[in-house]
Structure 1
């Protein structure tokens, strides 16, 4: 057996120690977020907060090191790839045209909201050179969820500015939580004022929730664990090779765009799509990434966070408000029902999981499957829209 060499670095920066502490952060975050009071905060925000607390008390390093770099460069992109393997475009054709129209209308409202927000809240030193990237991140996340938020952030290295990224995550979590309550209340209020809206039910989609939702936390077998780790590693190698090849040919295409495209193409393979565990494994990797993001946040710099948080809150509020106005106005003109519009909005703002929860809350079982599938479409579209907005600005 080979001898373990003496450590040439402080124990707090060794890979095994960091893996233990980061795993502990995830364990504690999941445990805390199961408590009634903390459920509204969400595990993503809790992971960042605990990572920041441990880093600023000296338990975790606040500066870059090889372990952190490996998580940013390999674990995070591989996890995004695994999460995107749940996008099934063939099944999406079965969801029915009305909810798909409303979802796309909500996407248009998000993009319009981001562009209007840039006119109201301009760039400044508090954004630390990340203004365009933040706009792209918000356009992406309010098209389909946090997968897109992190995909854009990874490309523009927003996580290197820990305060900016953490503030954006905190504001995003608050607005997303509040919007869930808005989408519960608005259909009730509008239904009383404008009760003539027709209710659309798609009887073809009564089969129940998407199988992947029930299997998301399924135990990984040796076979599936080997499949996902091997496939994600191969995807990173191929994407890196294609990115370099295109660059040499004069085409500078973002790595994450190519990785997203590859994941969507592979997701259409039925035999691969039926496998279990990719969502579970991908989620774990993303939370590990967020724990490191929290560790990069230096509390000594939080003096400037107050005004930055207010600016981000204003930016996000304008974006989400414009999204809601355009979506519900379109619903009125198209004479679709308000509950379907609220579910489509949640697919944009919160993702397929919250859209599914809202459909259950309304008792609209026929919309559970469409809600999850348009959420998957949001995951697919959001990265492209995020990069387009960031590039345009």
Structure 2
């Protein structure tokens, strides 16, 4: 069991076992803070030239993921239109979810005037089903996928970031200071452009850009290996996310939405896997492209850490941000198309 899985399961056990009261607002802040600090720490160790080598296959795999999401979610929405009220709205929300991630669900739900309980229950279903698939992607599924997909270039070098490295406390403070400086500048840019800090896409884009620019500067080499400290913040994020995963509301009120989500997710995943096999995409790119589409950039970082592959992290983040940008357009378009046809 990896440390990431252990943190997830501990959080889920505490939340669903009602071990103690959980404050979701506080946990959302903890999760957000740990991710925005951990992200630049992980990216400071990225080699830009190596990452560019994998940009093209990642974009191809992500395009196949988006196509699969559009087709399968649209077909499931059309199929469910006669059985489920406002199926077209749910289909649009799920399309946004499978091409851009959770923030698109909220935006599309508001754009389509979906009932408030739909927003809650769709995301609860995603936590259960998508969370189960995510756990598979960072545990046993990579070994299974390795039987069907070719090796990722440089796969034999993944072990280099798995090794435990002791870093002096003074150096860790310096690493944290640089990460906080990147966060502060990114927050300032976001606030200056939008007048607030609610634009997650712009914030993550700024964080990613600044961290990659810093990674290319020789002075950052003095910081040493920032990856272990960044991974620690990812573990904090995993615990917080597990604590927010309460499945009882879904069981009480959302079984129809759970069935809807299951059909959409399973068909999208299967078609994406088949298309990637047809186009001879390597294993890690298949995994990270689906994570970029289904879960968004924060999970790209987490899964790349679990795969011990930081070479693909920058490319995965790039396509996940692209998904954020196009997800709302695709979701609203699919919803209105199903409404017209049904």
With the shorter chain as reference, the TM-score category is 0.5 to 0.7
1:327 lines up with 2:327 in the alignment: no
Instruction: Tell me which residue corresponds to 1:171.
Output: 133
CA contact (8 A) 1:107 1:348 kept: yes
Instruction: Tell me which residue corresponds to 1:25.
Output: none
Aligned length: 299
Runs of 5+ consecutive residues of structure 1 not aligned to the other structure:
1-32, 34-41, 141-148, 189-199, 332-339, 357-370
1:308-387 alignment to 2 at 5 Å? 308-331=257-280, 341-342=282-283, 344-346=285-287, 348-349=289-290, 352=304, 373=311, 375-387=312-324
Shift of 1:354: 7.2
Instruction: Tell me which residue corresponds to 1:184.
Output: 146
Shift of 1:377: 3.5
Instruction: Tell me which residue corresponds to 1:258.
Output: 206
Q: CA, structure 1 residues 61+275, in 2 after alignment: closer, same or farther (shift >3 Å)?
A: same
Q: Deviations over 1:170-204 (max 9, x none)?
A: 2333366575355333359xxxxxxxxxxx999xx
Instruction: Tell me which residue corresponds to 2:167.
Output: 220
Q: CA, structure 1 residues 234+295, in 2 after alignment: closer, same or farther (shift >3 Å)?
A: same
The CA RMSD over aligned residues, in Å, is 4.4
C-alpha distance in 2 between matches for 1:172 and 1:292: 16
C-alpha distance in 1 between matches for 2:133 and 2:219: 39
Larger Rg: 1
Q: CA, structure 1 residues 114+285, in 2 after alignment: closer, same or farther (shift >3 Å)?
A: same
Q: Deviations over 1:69-100 (max 9, x none)?
A: 5413422221123223333222345x5xxx76
Q: CA, structure 1 residues 243+92, in 2 after alignment: closer, same or farther (shift >3 Å)?
A: closer
1:231 lines up with 2:192 in the alignment: no
Instruction: Tell me which residue corresponds to 2:71.
Output: 116
1:139-288 alignment to 2 at 5 Å? 139=99, 163-164=124-125, 166-167=127-128, 168-174=130-136, 179-186=141-148, 209=157, 213-215=161-163, 217-248=164-195, 254-272=202-220, 275-288=223-236
Shift of 1:65: 5.8
Shift of 1:226: 1.0
Shift of 1:285: 1.6
CA contact (8 A) 1:153 1:159 kept: no
SS of the equivalent of 1:219 reads coil
Q: Deviations over 1:345-391 (max 9, x none)?
A: 345357556777xxxxxxxxxxxxxx752x22333323312312433
CA contact (8 A) 1:48 1:291 kept: yes
Structure-2-length-normalised TM-score: 0.67
Shift of 1:225: 0.8
SS of the equivalent of 1:86 reads coil
Q: 2:41 aligns with which of 82, 85, 90?
A: 82
